[in-house]
Structure 1
Amino acid sequence: MTTSHGGMAEQAGDSTTLEAFARVGLIAYGVIHILIGWLALQLAWGTSSSKSADPSGALRTLADQPLGRILLWLVAVGLVALALWQGSEAIWGYRNREGAKRVRMRATSWARAIIYAALGVGAASVALGSGSSSSRSQQQATSGVLAWPAGHAIVVVIGLVVVGVGVAGVVKGVRRSFSEEIDTSSMSPGVRKGVARLGQVGYIAKGVALALVGGLLGYAAMTFDQQEAPGLDGALQTILAQPFGRFLLTTVAIGFLAFGLFAMLQSRYRRM
């Protein structure tokens, strides 16, 4: 974590307790992606599943396991801790960076904090029995925004941002720039190579899926068709509908599995 520079809030951001919970959150984040990958494989090969291949489906799958509600609360606490950690990084971190790079890294931390917080709230909602499909929630949110003045332009911009996040994930995977976030000094060469490969495959596959989600969102706004903004599950079904879609979706599913394993390994090796 960043060095404390004064103030109780900043000290909380540097606390070893928060770091421990954040590492639990990385495990939870990995589990969610592994479950999304598993649900995507079921979608690709036609095996029955009543759950959508998105974070809400992953959380509901977890809820169905023995001690599922307890596990969900642990996931929620860990993800909220991750959000707090990223928030503290956004406010006080990256002091050794300058200029545009520092602004970009802080903006990335804010984005991650929002994502982790949303997933944490989602886990708590499912634990309380009130969780809903991410795709259905996105359709409702899109419908509401489209009704605003300039709502279509806003949704197009949001779609482009999501596409940008997806492309950034692909670039991060190709360049392996995620290695800057991991302490590899204690890894053997074989483990280091395996972790790098997991991160590379995972970031590329997840980036492709997010770019497709953003593209569908923008298309929905431009064509005034709210059904074209179905979220991650709908994006994966769009992949399935393409020529050789079963194999394309299997590749993406394996990527989500790889990203999940990579996130779980980060709980051990992530620099904090």
Structure 2
Amino acid sequence: MDIDKSEKFTWAVRVGYFSRAILYSVLGIIALTQTDRIAEGTNGIFRAIENFPAGNVILWLMVFGLVAYALFRLCSLIFDIENEGSDKKGWAKRIGHTGSAIAHFALAYAAYQFATSSEGSSGGASGGGAQQAASGVLSFEFGGIVLGLLGLALLATGVFQFKKAWTGEFMNRIGPGAPNGTKILGSAGYFARGIVYFVIGYSLLKAGFGSGGSDQIKTLGDAVASLADDGLWFTITAIGLLMFGLFSLVLARYRIIPELDSDQGIPKFRA
């Protein structure tokens, strides 16, 4: 990989982290301050962003950034770009990254729907995109198995979110100069994300292997909204997601972005 391509890859991933920062910060703020809007699920997040000054420009930035971040995570499965290894533990982490990639592709599509909708805030973007896609998958012979496996992948992702929150291992991939308190932001954020991934993964598992149906599948905003009646857990999750947004902003600047060695074809991290 030449320097030009490597730098473009690095900047694309950093835009991805910046987009993630916007997404989770807005989600956390809405959950804490506008419970009626969080009831709209993921639509409520993008509708709020759409109403920002230059909201449509921000939405397009998020489309590009979320796709870039999803591809970055997908590279972990295909190329082991994060050096997780090929043993059982390594493959488990790589599959977890794949679950994250799928989730962020879905979020990018939702942002695209709002960015291209001329009716946007009046309901032009479809709120049932995830359910429609799942319904299409279920129409195939082995569609239920596919959704069930996706649910398991997201549950695995949730497990690794909790592990990161507990161990703080994410700090190993953050460069020097990161602000004080980065570890606290990250731990709280990963804990909240673990909760959300468990909710989404379980909904996919029910749709695929049970009798839940595609209308039971939850997206990011839906998962948070489903906790609204749980009081303390809802508040903890909302605060954690806001902190994860701030943590993602730190990552956009200080995350060590891996690259592929052009001579040997093996992953390595930038020094």
Length-normalised TM-score, structure 1 = 0.76
Contact 1:76 1:124 in 2 (8 A): yes
Contact 1:51 1:61 in 2 (8 A): no
Tell me, yes or no, if structure 1 residue 239 matches structure 2 residue 206.
no
For structure 1, the 5+ residue unaligned runs are: none
Structure 2 residue identity aligned to 1:167: V
User: Any residues of structure 2 matched to 1:186-205 within 5 Å, and which?
Assistant: 186-187=177-178, 191-192=179-180, 194-205=181-192
Structure 2 residue identity aligned to 1:164: A
Q: Which residue of 1 aligns with 2:255?
A: 270
Q: Which residue of 2 aligns with 1:159?
A: 151
Tell me, yes or no, if structure 1 residue 141 matches structure 2 residue 133.
yes
Q: Which residue of 2 aligns with 1:131?
A: 125
Q: Which residue of 1 aligns with 2:49?
A: 62
Per-residue CA distance 1:58-102 (angstroms, 9 max, x = gap) = 222111111111222222333344445556666666497654266
Contact 2:95 2:156 in 1 (8 A): no
Structure 2 residue identity aligned to 1:180: N
1:208 corresponds to which of 174, 195, 208: 195
Aligned residues: 249
Contact 1:39 1:51 in 2 (8 A): no
Q: Which residue of 1 aligns with 2:235?
A: 250
CA distance in 2, matches of 1:97, 1:217: 26
Contact 2:158 2:197 in 1 (8 A): yes
Q: Which runs of 4+ in 1 moved over 4 A?
A: 83-98, 101-118
Per-residue CA distance 1:200-219 (angstroms, 9 max, x = gap) = 01001111111012112223
SS of the residue corresponding to residue 49 of structure 1 reads helix
Structure 2 residue identity aligned to 1:186: G
Contact 1:13 1:84 in 2 (8 A): no
Worse-matched range after superposition: 140-149 or 65-74: 140-149
1:49 corresponds to which of 37, 40, 45: 37
CA distance in 2, matches of 1:95, 1:240: 35
Q: Which residue of 2 aligns with 1:25?
A: 16
CA RMSD of aligned residues (A): 3.0
Worse-matched range after superposition: 33-42 or 121-130: 121-130
1:77 corresponds to which of 58, 64, 86: 64
Contact 1:213 1:229 in 2 (8 A): yes
Tell me, yes or no, if structure 1 residue 34 matches structure 2 residue 25.
yes
Per-residue CA distance 1:141-175 (angstroms, 9 max, x = gap) = 33333333243333333222221211221112111
CA distance in 2, matches of 1:147, 1:86: 28
Length-normalised TM-score, structure 2 = 0.77
Report % sequence identity: 28
User: Any residues of structure 2 matched to 1:102-113 within 5 Å, and which?
Assistant: 112-113=100-101
